Structure 1
């Protein structure tokens, strides 16, 4: 039976959007966000400018959609890691870090593009507000998982917002160090050590009454 036209159109649109998003990251990473063009992304994806503008109003909107998709994938990876763990896997903070940190990879292309876009957003207050709101939404999705993980290791978080901000800053800073010196195993070990120290500093040990 032939698929109804009303169903084919949304599927084609979703496929077009997916291919444009897939094409955007390598173009942004190779050319730089500020030097990339709609035409370059369309050429990589195999579409025309019309296909782009039927899905996105601008490269800013495309990047934000790409960021949202990537954040959702990262959140699901952390959730999957959480679901695989058992209570015996989590004797302390370091055990949590060792299990969860691989779900938040250090990605060269993404780091370059996101750093450039952040600099771009700092010159655009309305865009910066959108980024801030979306970062808050990511933290709100991830921190309950961290609260549960730490509770299973016998620790609680007095201020989840402060810990979330500290972890984002730590991830960004140590990602840069890992990318600058990728062959040095000590850099990644220090990254793990720093996560342990920061989480320990922002949490407290629970004591049975």
Structure 2
């Protein structure tokens, strides 16, 4: 294994360990010492891959967002009909939106941006990436099924992400709240 491969493997293992640590404990209670220890590395290995705890948490959140977007893309690609696509998306939303660990970590870390402009900018970039992915999904659904979205894809993406964030927060507090509003809004955006 080359040095670069070993470093990439170390970074990957640290990210995986940190994700579980942050999701289980939250940002404030997470410890770089504990993450390094559980991963089987020194704290120096953490700092050779990430500048600080903020950078590590941002990398974890970026990874989670990418995974969630990939789940949606793969799920919708596997469904041949429009109704099956909506049903699959609705099921995904019900299982995913309001996941307490992920939702509360996002909120806790976002609050840090109040006093840290660098974190705010990085979170804004991450949100822009998610909106771009959602816009691509909306455009893909429209093209695949011959639909017309009542809003430009970018505006539809902003509306869907905003609803998803708000619904996620509400469901983290009240898990019994249905997630149907997200799929219903997607239907309405296509005039269905």
User: Same fold by TM-score, threshold 0.5 exceeded?
Assistant: yes
Structure 1 residue 115, shift from structure 2 partner: 0.8
Q: Cα deviation per residue 1:32-55 (whole Å; 9 max; x = unaligned)?
A: 312322112112212111110110
**Aligned partner of residue 49 in structure 2, secondary structure:** coil
CA distance in 1, matches of 2:24, 2:66: 24
Change (3 A) 1:26 1:196: closer
Query: Is residue 2:82 matched to residue 1:90?
Result: yes
Query: Is residue 2:155 matched to residue 1:168?
Result: no
CA distance in 2, matches of 1:25, 1:115: 15
1:15 corresponds to: 9
Counterpart of 2:115 (choices 98, 123, 131) is 123
TM-score by length of 2: 0.84
2:47 corresponds to: 53
TM-score by length of 1: 0.78
CA distance in 2, matches of 1:54, 1:180: 37
RMSD: 2.3
CA distance in 1, matches of 2:27, 2:63: 18
| Structure 2 unaligned regions, length at least 5 | none
Structure 1 residue 204, shift from structure 2 partner: 4.2
Bigger-Rg structure (1/2): 1
Change (3 A) 1:10 1:25: same
Aligned residues: 188
